[in-house]
Structure 1
């Protein structure tokens, strides 16, 4: 799931009828009374549906269609989600009292599977909605940053004993930064929709940092960084927090859970939590790096995950933030040059704006990299 329903909109009657039709294909108790669209997220189509039971109480559910243009094998996505949620919920129920890393539960379809497949309309699934929780698109304080780090650290800890080969790589080369870089250069050369002249400065910025794209890949090839099961979309709005306490309750959006490096997850947390600016902020003066947020992420993450991390992984926690921020900038610029074929956009230069915010944050991270690395080592030693 891409986000909790904090950003909902009314939908047309025909869409309401469609939501009810889809919801009724799952083992949901009660009668459909309302539905709203969740606009957060770049990829999938998501609705929140409300059902009223015979005793008058109401429950909400998340109905989501997997984007088959992005996920070429949506059945493999569902198999990955099923394996991970089953493993996590088993461990949370039996071995842990701390639930910060738990995940949502899939509701079975009436045919027995955990999804439905509709001709011409793809694969839909249903999750429970956890009441009393919310999410943030931008971290407002260090407590929220700590909870995000702790939640994803707990998530990784809970699945650290799973075999990565049991999961399918649903988006091959998702974090292959060398391939991402080379693809951008190829698209820039072809310039298929004649946009190159508007982004030469951004392209040059990325070219100057080509050496960075191979760092983690080379360490992985050398056997110095282990392949684990990772989340691969660790934005703060993929952590559900308690409405009253802001304590982490649940990690969501598992479509990209697959084999990878834990550093990719940490890097995306750094990218999305440390800046007060939105991902598509046009005023680049608002894009800055908050060292206090970084420190809180690392504190939370290491408190939850230090038990299974290697020293090599710890050594590159700070660098991972710069790398993933650069990678996302590369992806936004590639999509812009290709004509906006991957990410949802609301204006012609949306992906270019997104790219610029990422590259500005890369510059901010570079300026404080030494301080970041010192803090990581100090915190890791304190825990040991």
Structure 2
């Protein structure tokens, strides 16, 4: 039993503490107490999140705001306070937090159209419920996380340095990114001109960051709030499409299996706008397809930059995996460009 548990206001003494979930960033354990209360204990990864107290402050502010907007207590994560009143405990330099377990819920790793729609409902609702929250109150816990021009500049440095000595083998992929430099400025330029508002964004809008009711499969709440910070709503939308509307795994080697599924895109647009359409501006809606392409291109260039650097950031289990990841993203970008008019039409028709 982890000694840190005695520092949290749990209902009953802990009787078990076992590994839980499939997350890769934070160590997560399921805690069961006498009387049946169940909790989720997490060790915050301070190698990834360098400002854990600012991160926890973000989560406190956002969950408190969301709690005012939900009727089902399972509609928002609930932090368990430490005995000193804080939302976290520091033990031997390590940061820990505890959430109440969201009972009768399930997490899915992949989705068909109906589940993808439900995940869109959840992330749209999250955006809508936080539309009146002043995003500037939140700390940018990972600076320039979705600042695509900054990511592009980092890519250019990776090409110039060519630490792994592979640039001559992947010139086609490098040129693919370089030829889209002007596009990378689209959203940041609009934000700079005050045409896209600063929002509270989740920044990791995969389906496995939504909890669903175990019986009905209806979306309950959004989880994994560590990357909640100020950002653009279209990037949250876009990251969900990048990951969820692909027909293949992110590191698929056979590109003939990688396609942008317009049907899944349509399902997500419908679900997303059903819950946040009224709170988004006209420009945000117009830019939804741009967000999808932007996040896919950005992710691809990050994978390719890491391949050029020698696989120093993203974990790889085999040689060339980051290159394969980059190629799948670029294939999706190409197909989005081929369906560009349809992507915009779907948004217009849904709205």
TM-score band (shorter)?
over 0.9
Alignment map for 1:1-384 (pairs within 5 Å): 17=1, 20-28=2-10, 29-41=12-24, 44-53=25-34, 55=35, 57=36, 59-93=37-71, 102-120=75-93, 122-140=94-112, 142-380=113-351
CA distance in 2, matches of 1:279, 1:174: 20
CA distance in 1, matches of 2:252, 2:27: 24
- Whether the aligned pair in 2 keeps the contact of 1:151 and 1:248 (CA below 8 Å) is yes
CA distance in 2, matches of 1:259, 1:191: 33
CA distance in 2, matches of 1:69, 1:335: 18
Structure 1 residue ranges (4+ consecutive) displaced by more than 6 angstroms after TM superposition? none
C-alpha deviation, 1:272, in angstroms: 1.5
- Whether the aligned pair in 2 keeps the contact of 1:233 and 1:268 (CA below 8 Å) is yes
Single out whichever of 107-116 and 142-151 deviates more from structure 2: 107-116
Single out whichever of 125-134 and 223-232 deviates more from structure 2: 125-134
CA distance in 2, matches of 1:199, 1:128: 48
Aligned-partner SS, 1:107: coil
- Whether the aligned pair in 1 keeps the contact of 2:164 and 2:307 (CA below 8 Å) is no
C-alpha deviation, 1:128, in angstroms: 1.9
Single out whichever of 147-156 and 104-113 deviates more from structure 2: 104-113
CA distance in 1, matches of 2:307, 2:91: 32
- Whether the aligned pair in 2 keeps the contact of 1:39 and 1:46 (CA below 8 Å) is no
Q: TM-score, normalised to structure 1's length?
A: 0.85
Aligned-partner SS, 1:113: coil
In the TM superposition, what whole-angstrom CA distance separates every residue of 1:293-333 from its partner, at most 9, and x where no partner exists?
A: 11111111111111111111111111211111111111222
Unpaired segments ≥5 residues, structure 2: none
CA distance in 2, matches of 1:245, 1:266: 24
- Whether the aligned pair in 2 keeps the contact of 1:138 and 1:276 (CA below 8 Å) is no
Aligned-partner SS, 1:232: coil
- Whether the aligned pair in 2 keeps the contact of 1:109 and 1:115 (CA below 8 Å) is yes
C-alpha deviation, 1:132, in angstroms: 2.3
C-alpha deviation, 1:37, in angstroms: 4.7
CA distance in 1, matches of 2:310, 2:83: 40
Q: CA RMSD in A?
A: 2.0
CA distance in 1, matches of 2:316, 2:38: 28
Tell me: CA distance 1:353–1:24, structure 2 relative to 1, closer, same or farther (3 Å). Answer: farther
CA distance in 1, matches of 2:133, 2:294: 26
Aligned-partner SS, 2:108: coil
C-alpha deviation, 1:198, in angstroms: 4.6
In structure 2, the partner of 1:14 is none
- Whether the aligned pair in 1 keeps the contact of 2:31 and 2:40 (CA below 8 Å) is no
